Amino acid sequence: MESRDLRRAPLSAADFARAASEIYTALAPSPQIAWPLLADRCGCEVWLKHENHLPTGAFKVRGGVWFMAQLAAAHPECPGVVAATRGNHGQSVAFAARRHGLRAVVVAPHGNNPEKNRAMRALGAELIEHGEDFNAALDHAHALAAEQGLFPMPSYHSTLVQGVGTYAYEFLRAVPDLDAIYVPIGLGSGIAGTVAARDALGLRTEVVGVVAAGADAYARSFAAGKVVSTARADTLADGVAVRVPSAEALAYLLEGVARVVTVDDDAILDAMGALLSDTHNLVEGAAAAPLAALLAERERQAGRRVGLVVSGANADRSTLARVLARDP
């Protein structure tokens, strides 16, 4: 499957509706809820898009279901797929591959979230641990694809953007008058999908990207106007622990994102605790990063209507213990 150039041929509302119709054969739309306690905390009306409520506990499954349906139609002879992941993409791949009877091989770096590893195996993935970070795992996944004749399932691709972007399509149709929406940036499919959905719906909602201070390659790239890689990606928010940005995703940021906010791990832990106390939702670090960014920009967003993408729920027990040990 070739990647479509979405900047030259932007996704339309009909494109998102078509992807959503396939995705809804496997899962229901996630809810969007305005939480009064968060409004008090942030000084503005706050809506959460609860991707943490999806079957794999994260937004990635949308892209997996849509991508795998297209792959199965285009390549019915395909024996299976291989992907690199920190967990949520791998669960998506395994969930979607099982629906089509395909083998799913997933490569995760050593020291990966053990709960995510267990979940990937439970969904039928053949899990291989390799390398010290996502990019090392990605290199090994490419090697396995060549060795075993598997389809290399990317973490960023135009088809994935169309699939995962259905969360923003749902969110912005349900709450079209959002002044701003904060989106965590991993490899970039989620924020690219948000920009594409915003544009397809003809809205003027400000899209704000969020990265972790220890994994700020996208913030550096956004500031420089070109891809800037980092030597390491050190953060408890494994969903945003990327050191080599996607050039295609960066193009979306440069054309459609207002700014990229950087938050440190302490702020992320505090935001995880705030979401637990104010909404009784357990979320992972990447999912709490948008709230951390909103709290950092509290004065800027005072009195406005703001959306936060709660991208996933898959925090490990040790991180949750750190959250519970902090002052509320």
* Residue 8 clears pLDDT 70, i.e. is over it: no
Helix axes 88-99, 60-74, angle to 10 degrees: 40
Q: Which CATH architecture has domain 60-156?
A: 3-Layer(aba) Sandwich (3.40)
Q: Partners of 311 in the beta sheet?
A: none
Q: Which of 241, 247, 246, 245 is nearest to 229 (CA)?
A: 245
Q: What is the pLDDT of residue 135?
A: 83
Question: Where in the chain are the domains?
Answer: 13-58+159-325, 60-156
* Residue 155 clears pLDDT 90, i.e. is over it: no
- CATH 3.40.50.1100 assigned to 13-58+159-325: yes
* Residue 244 clears pLDDT 70, i.e. is over it: yes
User: What's the pLDDT tens digit per position in 270-322?
Assistant: 999 999 999 999 999 999 999 999 999 999 999 999 999 999 999 989 999 99
CB contact at 8 A, 104 and 94: yes
User: What's the pLDDT tens digit per position in 134-153?
Assistant: 888 999 999 999 999 999 99
* Residue 185 clears pLDDT 80, i.e. is over it: yes
Helices (H) and strands (E) in the chain, counts: 14, 10
Equal CATH topology for 13-58+159-325 and 60-156: yes
Q: What is the pLDDT of residue 1?
A: 58
Q: What is the pLDDT of residue 38?
A: 98
Cite the DSSP H helix spans in the chain: 13-23, 36-42, 60-74, 88-99, 114-122, 134-148, 158-164, 166-174, 189-200, 217-224, 247-256, 265-279, 285-296, 317-325
What's the pTM value of the predicted model, to 2 decimals? Answer: 0.93
User: What's the pLDDT tens digit per position in 83-126?
Assistant: 998 888 999 999 999 999 999 999 999 998 888 899 999 999 99
